[in-house]
Amino acid sequence: MGEHKDWVTWHEPYNRPGSSLHRRLVLVQGRVREALTAAPPGLIRVISICAGQGRDLVGALRDHPRRGDVEARLLELDEGNVAYASESVRSAGLHRVEIVQGDASITTAYEGLVPADLVLVCGVFGNVSDADIRTTIEELPKLCRSGATVIWTRHREPPDMTPTIRSWFEGAGFGEVGFDSEEGFRFGIGTHRFLGTPRPFQRDVRLFDFIGDGAQANT
């Protein structure tokens, strides 16, 4: 992330109904709830890559009937966002949701909580190179159990990469559950289910370098 970027202020549009980030959040949370409802009985393991303030998962869990089944790790580098997410988790009483301040781009950060049932990659693909998007997707079978759900976001500014990203998921053994967008906005939200066999987890694998500033998320 850029050294001088104020990532706490960047999140303020989430609080404005009708903003792009707010509309995206509503749709992402809906997909998260669907994935939780459809998960097999028992423990639901969740990892969130570059979790920001944790709104995608925490908001979906607050009143979900399976909130007690969720064990989650949210990785975020920005100190202010970590503090916000930690307070949100505390106030929601989500005792098995862990907020970790650290580098989400290295697979070691997820050790002990994979293979996961739900992986959130929201706000990542618009801030890394195309090559790193593909690398991340191809590494996801090492983080997912069979049947796991992956939810991701990416802006649709020209050149629109979302069709290519969807094809990369298919090539990595995922089936598409849905692709959401909304008229008047440029965001896209993909939901995919892992249909393949999990591959052995590897530590110290770099998934991506975060190079963006989040500007296109507000389109």
pLDDT tens for each residue of 63-96: 999 999 999 999 999 999 999 999 999 999 999 9
Q: Is residue 2 included in any domain, yes or no?
A: no
For residue 132, being part of any structural domain is answered with yes
- For the chain, give the percent of residues with pLDDT over 90: 90
pLDDT band at 218 (very low <50, low <70, confident <90, very high): low
The domain total for the chain is: 1
What pLDDT, in 10s, does the model give residues 4-30? 578 788 789 889 999 999 999 999 999
For CA atoms 99, 102, 106, 109, the dihedral sign is negative
Q: Is 43 within a domain?
A: yes
E strand residue ranges, 5-58: 44-48
Residue 1 domain flag: no
**Number of helices followed by number of strands (H, E) in the chain:** 6, 7
Tokens of 106: 């290295």
pLDDT in the model for residue 2: 40
Of the candidates 125, 204, 198, 127, the one whose C-alpha atom is nearest the C-alpha of residue 168 is 125
The parent domain of residue 16 ranges over: 7-218
Report the CATH number that the domain containing residue 147 is assigned in CATH. 3.40.50.150
The helix (run of H) or strand (run of E) holding residue 147 is strand 144-155
Q: Is 185 helix (H, G, I), strand (E, B) or coil?
A: coil
What spatial distance separates the first Cα and last Cα of the chain, rounded to whole Å?
Answer: 20
Amino acid 13: pLDDT: 87
Cα 87 to chain centroid distance, Å, stands at 19
Residue 1 pLDDT > 50: no
Q: How far apart are CA 183 and CA 125, in angstroms?
A: 21
